[in-house]
């Protein structure tokens, strides 16, 4: 069994099905531009999107660590360069136990950021400030802009199974719009330094 599968199984108690895996692979995002265009307005999020996001989030929150870990392990499996960048920041001889703790802690931080953004949809200036500063810090961690762009699709693939009974194209669009907005401000921060 691969290291990622072992880690996912021990951290979430689950293992990917082939169906899940094909969803992950088809989630690659081709938007890899590394510039920020100040003329481009922030992506729009409608009130309907906000309502959908809040409803879904209430459900996703019940298993937030699992969703975060599945998102990142899926991303590392399909994009080993993202894994290398994530680990390049740590000591070379990190044990499997330490590695799992680092992965879990970061996954929870990412989920915490999603939570803050959902509640800051009422106050877009605060959302902008949060994500721009996060972009600056991630640039300092040597994270590439295109890695950030990949998270949204991976996250959507991770939450879909638990929302399968209610999921529609509107749900897909609402989450896509949220991550586009988060990435817009992160990109702005990353390009500002």
* Contact residues for ligand HEM, defined by CB under 6 A: 82, 85-86, 89, 102, 106, 109-110, 113, 134, 137-138, 141, 143, 147-148, 151
Q: 157: how many CB neighbours lie within 10 A of its CB? A: 22
* C-beta atoms surrounding 118 within 10 Å: 18
* CB closer to ligand HEM out of 158 and 164: 158
Would you give the distance in Å from CA 33 to the centre of its chain?
18
Q: How far is the CB of 164 from ligand HEM (least distance, A)?
A: 24
The answer to whether 103 touches 69, Cβ cutoff 8 Å, is yes
Cβ proximity to ligand HEM, 49 vs 149, nearer residue: 149
The DSSP letter of residue 43 is P
Q: How far is the CB of 129 from ligand HEM (least distance, A)?
A: 13
Residue closer to ligand HEM by CB (options 52, 190) is 190
| CB 85 to ligand HEM: min, Å | 4
* Cα(174)–Cα(139) distance, integer angstroms: 27
Comparing CB distances to ligand HEM, the nearer of 8 and 179 is: 179
CB 165 to ligand HEM: min, Å: 27
Place of tokens 């209610």: 166
Under DSSP, the state recorded for 42 is P
């Amino acid at each position: 069994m691969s290291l990622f599968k072992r880690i996912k199984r021990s951290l979430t108690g689950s293992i990917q099905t082939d169906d899940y895996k094909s969803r992950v692979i088809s989630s690659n995002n081709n938007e890899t531009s590394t510039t920020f265009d100040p003329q481009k307005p922030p992506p729009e999020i409608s009130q309907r999107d906000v309502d959908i996001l809040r409803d879904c989030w209430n459900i996703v929150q019940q298993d937030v660590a699992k969703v975060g870990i599945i998102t990142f392990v899926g991303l590392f499996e399909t994009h080993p360069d993202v894994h290398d960048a994530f680990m390049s920041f740590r000591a070379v001889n990190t044990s499997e136990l330490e590695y799992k703790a680092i992965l879990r802690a970061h996954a929870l931080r990412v989920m915490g950021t999603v939570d803050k953004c959902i509640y800051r949809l009422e106050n877009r200036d605060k959302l902008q400030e949060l994500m721009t500063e996060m972009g600056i810090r991630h640039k300092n961690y040597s994270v590439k802009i295109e890695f950030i762009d990949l998270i949204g699709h991976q996250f959507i693939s991770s939450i879909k199974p638990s929302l399968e009974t209610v999921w529609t194209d509107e749900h897909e669009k609402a989450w896509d719009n949220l991550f586009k907005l988060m990435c817009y401000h992160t990109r702005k921060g990353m390009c500002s330094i």
